[in-house]
Amino acid sequence: MRVLGIDPGTVTTGYGVVDEDGGRITFVGAGGIATSAKQAFPERLKKIYEGLQAVIAEHHPDMVAVESLFFAKNVQSALKLGHARGVAVLAAVMDGLPVYEYSPTEIKQAVVGYGAAEKPQVQKMVMTLLKMDAMPAKLDTTDALAAAICHIHSARMKDAVKGRGK
């Protein structure tokens, strides 16, 4: 199973691709789609959409895991983030990919074992789980990889529960 994790953002949308085979999770690729604050907002959304379509075309994921919106004090920022998230979901759906959504707390719980973990803890666990030599340059990338890992762990749990129900 190949999972594309996405951490939506209007400045940088992080993405991370991981494979799961026989219980082993391996790193495939990761990066960020950066936009410029000088661009009109609709152009920034277009760049995110096209960038994610290119990632999907290159890596051929089986499914997509997206970090869901969290509570934000600034309504304007939350609305813009919601737009970026919608564009990310649309890019996946347009390619016929199933989309799974996870809250930041669910992602941290799945990766670190603690829902209130700090960003450095998530980074360290992502590096450990994926046996990476260097830390990803951007937190958006780490968060996207964490979303993909969360989905794999979640799918394993669902399979285990299904297996007990037989």
Residue numbers annotated as active site: 7, 67, 140
**8 A C-beta contact, residue 9 and residue 16:** no
Rounded to 5°, angle at Cα 26 from 18 and 110: 70
Task: Give backbone dihedrals phi and psi of 38, rounded to 5 degrees, phi first.
Answer: -80, -20
**8 A C-beta contact, residue 22 and residue 62:** no
End-to-end CA gap in the chain: 23
